[in-house]
A = this chain, B = another copy of it.
Amino acid sequence: MYLMMKMNNKRSSKEKLIEAMADLLLEKGLASTSPRDILTRAEVGQGSLYHYFNGKEDLSLHAIKYNVEQLISCNTSVLNTDKNAYSKLSDLLLKYRNINRGCLVGQLARDRSIMENKELAAEVTRGFESMKQTLENLIKIGIAEGSISNVLAPLEAVTLIISTLQGAYISAKGLQDDSYFHLTINTLLKIFIP
């Protein structure tokens, strides 16, 4: 019965609001997203927003958590394959990545309005930490099994990977040429070929 509710594709107004906001945070950012935008996207009335949440920032917290969970579950599904560590790394950096939408947590970290709010920032940091932990484990396994080069220590490798991934979106944006995203990631991967 409870499962039925979750599986039902008729989402509640509350869910619609969270998902709409989660999208909008990636698309327009917190400051530029107005209540109007949210209501239009969610297809619910204004009453619902203020019934379920204490305003925009409160809804943001739920939306950010939603995005972080999405990222984590996405990463988990990549890890649960039987490829070698290097292939998994490649998948993490290229699969499920939409250059227009940007990184699920990176976009949030770049949002000043979000990072200026301690509560919201903490949630974003949780996402980054998770990503970092996931990558660190993966690198260690890769080095052990020989599919990933050991030129860099795991922590160095992880730091480089996360930064480069985040920056790849920005370079592509700044140069106004999306091909730089893939060029960057492919170059990055090259470094880890044993």
In the bound complex, what is the Cα–Cα distance between A159 and B125 (angstroms)?
27
* Chain B residues whose CB sits within 8 angstroms of the CB of A105 once the complex forms: 174
Q: What is the count of identical protomers in the complex?
A: 2
In the bound complex, what is the Cα–Cα distance between A181 and B98 (angstroms)?
25
B190→A152 contact, CB < 8 A? yes
A142 at the interface (CB under 8 A from B): no
- Closest CB of chain B to A50's CB: distance in Å? 24
B115→A173 contact, CB < 8 A? yes
Binary contact track A19-43/B, C-beta < 8 Å → 1, others 0: 0000000001101100000000000
* Chain B residues whose CB sits within 8 angstroms of the CB of A183 once the complex forms: 155-156, 159
Name the contact of A187 in the complex, choosing from B32, B110, B160 (C-beta under 8 A).
Answer: B160
B128→A174 contact, CB < 8 A? yes
- Closest CB of chain B to A53's CB: distance in Å? 22
Binary contact track A149-177/B, C-beta < 8 Å → 1, others 0: 00010011101101111111011011110
Name the contact of A170 in the complex, choosing from B129, B167, B174, B184 (C-beta under 8 A).
Answer: B167
B159→A187 contact, CB < 8 A? yes
A95 at the interface (CB under 8 A from B): no
- Output the residue of A159, A173, A175, A191 with the most chain B CB within 10 A: A159
B31→A174 contact, CB < 8 A? no
In the bound complex, what is the Cα–Cα distance between A170 and B102 (angstroms)?
13
In the bound complex, what is the Cα–Cα distance between A71 and B28 (angstroms)?
28
In the bound complex, what is the Cα–Cα distance between A121 and B32 (angstroms)?
18
